[in-house]
A and B are shown apart, each in its own frame.
Chain A
Amino acid sequence: MRAIAATLAPRMDSKTAADRLGRWVAPVAAEAGRQLRRAGEAALSQTVRVAVTGLARSGKTVLTAALVQNLLLARERPTLMPFFAPAHERRLIGVERLPNRRRPPFPFELVMERLSADPPAWPPSTSGISELRLAVAYRPRGVAARMVADRAAVTLVIVDYPGEWLLDLPLLERSYEAWSAETLGLARTPPRDALARAFLAAVDAPLTNAPAEAEAERLSALYTDYLRVCRAKPAALSFVQPGRFLLPGREAEADPRLLRFAPLQAGSARLHALMAERFELYKRALVEPFFRDHFRRFDRQLVLVDLLSALESGYDAFRDAERAMNAVLQVYRYGRTGLIRRLFGARIDKVLFAATKADHITPNQYNNLRALLEAMAMREGRFPGLEEGALGFGLVAALKCTEPAMLRFQGRPVEALRGVPVGQEEEQVLYPGEIPAHYPTPADWREGRFRFVDFLPPRRSDPTHQGVRAIYLDKALDFLIGDRFR
């Protein structure tokens, strides 16, 4: 027995040695594997900052909330976003919200609460910049990527800011005198001259002896009123400068002096000097910091355009919307060596312009709406700042409030919509009219051509659990960030 034990002993020893070595090596190897995987995950993981913007009432808030809500549900319900590749390819592992870092939080819960209530209601519109961060874990698509790591994550930062602020960009290149001449010239032409009557009267009035500060306050108040009337229906104009006069944001609210100026061509030298100084201060304290601290960091941009309101309000409003849109597009027309890049090093490499509230028109008009949006943007030339395929035109409805219906007209059925208009309790049928297939002329606005009505959110749609019923939101998301889920 002993002999056997003795013969076995060295082998046992070597085995224990191997075991010991194994015990020592295994955790090291496992740890190395973990580290490698982590490094692979880190190599594949990235942050993408998507900016969502549009003029007031273009539906930014609901769209941002719908985007996030559907993303949160996308793994469990891949049918919710059939055109968002990572969702339909079932590569999403999990989506979770992350705490905010730099900007005020987006009121996601409040919006969802309003939309889920019975009866549901539209959430209040936001007036400043806000952000929402999501961690989207996914399985990489390519074999090579999967060899590096079997999972990766995209940190999606959605930043929502007023489109009005983008309209301020051209101010950076203008002197106070040039801006005043331009703005007053615009205010004196129809249809604005009728809206600017009080302000123009004050500007054109003979000199007063009032202190310059008081004059600046009075004139800026009148000018703000004029801008407000421009934006409101029935005028529904879009080009309002300076944008912060309507949506000041935190900084301007903290220091109202920043907004106490107005365009002026006559007036006392002191008043003129004060106005010019304020104008420069506005640029320095509000416009530049916005582009430097926020805009510069965005990777992708979604610009929402409420083309329907502009169409409904007539040819002037339509042309004005075009002017505003092209002012926004200037940002991307500068090219790689342009002002914005030189000043702030903006790196946005994909922009989607989307006509919102697509549920306010019948589906057979979608192609026309998309084509019209593109025609408006392309009238002023191309975009050297963006690569081929980096500028998209689409349409979305963040929350579908209508159902298709048929209206009988002269014995024939005509496509229409059914929904509960805001301020009413009963369902009605809307025939919204047809979107022109060509670039419209004033003759296109005959009586009864367009009618777009705001509808209440659908009842009992349970967006928190069922997802938000949207139109082409998934396509928009796929265009904006789909390529980052490689």
Chain B
Amino acid sequence: MTRDTKPRAGLYPVGQAEPAPPPKLPATFEPIEPLPALEPARRRNPAWRWVMRTGAALVLGLIVLDLGLFLEGLFDRSLALGAVFSLLVGAAVVAILSWIGMEIRQIRKLGAVEAIRIHAAEVMAQDGHGGAMGFIAEARRALGERPAVARRFDRLEDMVLETMSDRDAMELFRREVLVPLDMEAYSAVRRAAQWTAIGVSASPVAGLDALIALWRSVRMIRQIAEAYGLRPGPIATMSLARRVLTGVAGISVVDVMGDMWAQHLGHRVAGLISAKLAEGVYAAVRVARLGLLAMGTCRPVPFAAEDEPSLSRLRTEIAGSLVRQLNRPEKNDG
């Protein structure tokens, strides 16, 4: 506040000013401190790592050798046959490589969600000006691939002015972009939970219900990830599922509630109706809990208290759909 640190208040020629508006937060986010690891690094036995690596190399080598021998045999028989199959093999290799590349990109993007999350927390904590615009640009890159979401970002950018405080801009971001995405993800969770409840209760074969729950959970996690701008393939979905299950920091809020509710509802429903139905409800609750955890993992900004997905609402919805199904038992085809 002394004369040394601030210029004298007054008018200055434009030439003395920077041409650009005040710098926003850098578009590509560079955290000041290294990001915390998403999960604690597990120390594996180095010998086991070598067994895995050499085993993988052996299998890969065998496949390559076998393919080589196979193509050589074909070339011996006919040049045309060899050429056609070489092309096919080449195309397949390219396709597999690009698929792996895409999966890696998606897994990386999954990691970027955490970076965006920290960025958002920083912007909210500072309550300054201009930082939110950089964040919104960053979030757009992560979320705005789908045209409908891109349109929401257009609308948001039309609203946010550089004079707005970061808190206000983040509020608009939440309202215009995040809440609709939350609703989309939430309805995926609800669908999956309801479907699991009905499917498991109606499953005639033991063991099939577990498969139903598993398959529905995987599909749900993918849908949730898609809602938040990710497009995970099978590998990335597995990686995401692992991340959800190992419990990334800050998303464990629903855990305790989920358990309490599952027990409560499980007993009540079991007492009221049948054990089979209670099994369905229990499975549904597990799927729902998983879904809410997945939402917490994929969401680029941690949930504010008012946006926290509500298990009690899900409970009502699952119970409601089950009651509807009970009223029409003949249509209960699972």
Tell whether A428 pairs with B128 under 8 Å between CB atoms, given A407-B7, A414-B6: no
Q: List B contacts of A366 (CB < 8 A).
A: 129, 163, 165
Q: List B contacts of A413 (CB < 8 A).
A: 18, 22-23
In the assembled complex, the CB of A325 is this many whole angstroms from the nearest CB of chain B, namely 24
Please measure, in the bound complex, the distance between the C-alpha atom of A421 and the C-alpha atom of B14, giving whole angstroms.
Answer: 12
Residue of A407, A431, A434 with highest tally of chain B CB at under 10 A: A431
Q: List A contacts of B168 (CB < 8 A).
A: 83
Tell whether A430 pairs with B159 under 8 Å between CB atoms, given A404-B21, A405-B18: no
Q: List A contacts of B158 (CB < 8 A).
A: 79
Chain B residues within 8 Å of chain A by Cβ, number: 34
Who on chain B is nearest to A450 by CB?
B9
The answer to whether A406 touches B10, judged by C-beta atoms less than 8 angstroms apart, is no
The answer to whether B12 touches A416, judged by C-beta atoms less than 8 angstroms apart, is yes
Label chain A's interface by main secondary structure: mixed
The answer to whether A407 touches B22, judged by C-beta atoms less than 8 angstroms apart, is no
Q: List B contacts of A450 (CB < 8 A).
A: 9
Asked if B16 is at the interface (CB within 8 A of a chain A CB), the reply is yes
- Encoded as 1 (CB less than 8 Å from any B CB) or 0, chain A from 421 to 438 comes to 100001111111110000
Please measure, in the bound complex, the distance between the C-alpha atom of A362 and the C-alpha atom of B21, giving whole angstroms.
Answer: 12
Asked if B266 is at the interface (CB within 8 A of a chain A CB), the reply is no
Asked if B108 is at the interface (CB within 8 A of a chain A CB), the reply is no
The answer to whether B10 touches A430, judged by C-beta atoms less than 8 angstroms apart, is yes
The answer to whether A363 touches B7, judged by C-beta atoms less than 8 angstroms apart, is no
Please measure, in the bound complex, the distance between the C-alpha atom of A367 and the C-alpha atom of B127, giving whole angstroms.
Answer: 10
The answer to whether A364 touches B14, judged by C-beta atoms less than 8 angstroms apart, is no
The answer to whether B17 touches A408, judged by C-beta atoms less than 8 angstroms apart, is yes
Who on chain A is nearest to B159 by CB?
A82
- Encoded as 1 (CB less than 8 Å from any B CB) or 0, chain A from 282 to 298 comes to 00000000000000000
The answer to whether A432 touches B9, judged by C-beta atoms less than 8 angstroms apart, is yes
The answer to whether B175 touches A88, judged by C-beta atoms less than 8 angstroms apart, is yes
Please measure, in the bound complex, the distance between the C-alpha atom of A408 and the C-alpha atom of B175, giving whole angstroms.
Answer: 37
Tell whether A429 pairs with B128 under 8 Å between CB atoms, given A404-B162, A407-B7, A434-B1: no
Asked if B20 is at the interface (CB within 8 A of a chain A CB), the reply is yes
Please measure, in the bound complex, the distance between the C-alpha atom of A428 and the C-alpha atom of B6, giving whole angstroms.
Answer: 18
Instruction: Please report which residues of chain B, range 8-58, place their CB below 8 angstroms from some CB of chain A when the two chains form the complex.
Output: 8-14, 16-18, 20-23
Q: List B contacts of A363 (CB < 8 A).
A: 129-130, 162-165
Q: List B contacts of A471 (CB < 8 A).
A: 161, 163
Asked if B155 is at the interface (CB within 8 A of a chain A CB), the reply is yes
- Encoded as 1 (CB less than 8 Å from any B CB) or 0, chain A from 140 to 179 comes to 0000000000000000000000000000000000000000
The answer to whether A415 touches B22, judged by C-beta atoms less than 8 angstroms apart, is yes
Asked if A453 is at the interface (CB within 8 A of a chain B CB), the reply is yes
Q: List A contacts of B102 (CB < 8 A).
A: none
Asked if B248 is at the interface (CB within 8 A of a chain A CB), the reply is no
Q: List B contacts of A206 (CB < 8 A).
A: none
Please measure, in the bound complex, the distance between the C-alpha atom of A433 and the C-alpha atom of B7, giving whole angstroms.
Answer: 8
The answer to whether A429 touches B1, judged by C-beta atoms less than 8 angstroms apart, is no
Residue of B1, B11, B165, B175 with highest tally of chain A CB at under 10 A: B11
Asked if B202 is at the interface (CB within 8 A of a chain A CB), the reply is no
Residue of B17, B21, B161, B175 with highest tally of chain A CB at under 10 A: B17
Tell whether A400 pairs with B163 under 8 Å between CB atoms, given A408-B18, A409-B7: yes
Please measure, in the bound complex, the distance between the C-alpha atom of A342 and the C-alpha atom of B162, giving whole angstroms.
Answer: 47
Q: List B contacts of A367 (CB < 8 A).
A: 127, 165
Instruction: Please report which residues of chain A, range 62-111, place their CB below 8 angstroms from some CB of chain B when the two chains form the complex.
Output: 79, 82-83, 88
Asked if B254 is at the interface (CB within 8 A of a chain A CB), the reply is no
In the assembled complex, the CB of B2 is this many whole angstroms from the nearest CB of chain A, namely 10
Point out the residue from B9, B127, B163 that lies within 8 Å of A358, measured CB to CB: B163
Q: List B contacts of A409 (CB < 8 A).
A: 6-7
Q: List B contacts of A322 (CB < 8 A).
A: none
Who on chain A is nearest to B3 by CB?
A448
Instruction: Please report which residues of chain A, range 347-401, place their CB below 8 angstroms from some CB of chain B when the two chains form the complex.
Output: 358-359, 363-364, 366-367, 397, 400
Residue of B8, B127, B175 with highest tally of chain A CB at under 10 A: B8
Please measure, in the bound complex, the distance between the C-alpha atom of A450 and the C-alpha atom of B6, giving whole angstroms.
Answer: 12
The answer to whether A406 touches B165, judged by C-beta atoms less than 8 angstroms apart, is no
Residue of B4, B129, B155 with highest tally of chain A CB at under 10 A: B129
Please measure, in the bound complex, the distance between the C-alpha atom of A153 and the C-alpha atom of B6, giving whole angstroms.
Answer: 52
The answer to whether B9 touches A403, judged by C-beta atoms less than 8 angstroms apart, is no
The answer to whether A407 touches B16, judged by C-beta atoms less than 8 angstroms apart, is yes
Point out the residue from B10, B11, B128 that lies within 8 Å of A364, measured CB to CB: B128
Q: List A contacts of B14 (CB < 8 A).
A: 418, 426-429
Asked if B269 is at the interface (CB within 8 A of a chain A CB), the reply is no
Q: List B contacts of A434 (CB < 8 A).
A: 1, 6
Point out the residue from B1, B16, B165 that lies within 8 Å of A408, measured CB to CB: B16
Tell whether A448 pairs with B10 under 8 Å between CB atoms, given A363-B165, A364-B128, A415-B22: yes
Point out the residue from A79, A359, A364, A448 that lies within 8 Å of B9, measured CB to CB: A448
In the assembled complex, the CB of A67 is this many whole angstroms from the nearest CB of chain B, namely 17
Who on chain A is nearest to B18 by CB?
A406
Residue of A414, A427, A450, A469 with highest tally of chain B CB at under 10 A: A414
Please measure, in the bound complex, the distance between the C-alpha atom of A359 and the C-alpha atom of B162, giving whole angstroms.
Answer: 11
Please measure, in the bound complex, the distance between the C-alpha atom of A404 and the C-alpha atom of B17, giving whole angstroms.
Answer: 11
Q: List B contacts of A397 (CB < 8 A).
A: 163
Tell whether A406 pairs with B21 under 8 Å between CB atoms, given A79-B159, A434-B1: yes
Asked if A449 is at the interface (CB within 8 A of a chain B CB), the reply is yes
Who on chain B is nearest to A471 by CB?
B163
Asked if A451 is at the interface (CB within 8 A of a chain B CB), the reply is yes
16 A-B pairs (CB sep. < 8 Å): A363-B165, A367-B165, A397-B163, A403-B21, A404-B130, A405-B17, A406-B23, A407-B12, A407-B17, A407-B18, A408-B16, A414-B7, A426-B14, A427-B14, A431-B8, A431-B12
Q: Which residues of B contact A (CB under 8 A)?
A: 1, 3-4, 6-14, 16-18, 20-23, 127-130, 155, 158-159, 161-165, 168, 172, 175
Minimum-distance CB pairs A-B, first 4: A433-B9, A451-B9, A448-B8, A406-B18
Give 6 new A-B contacts, CB below 8 A, not counting A415-B22, A427-B14.
A79-B155, A366-B163, A405-B18, A406-B23, A407-B12, A413-B18
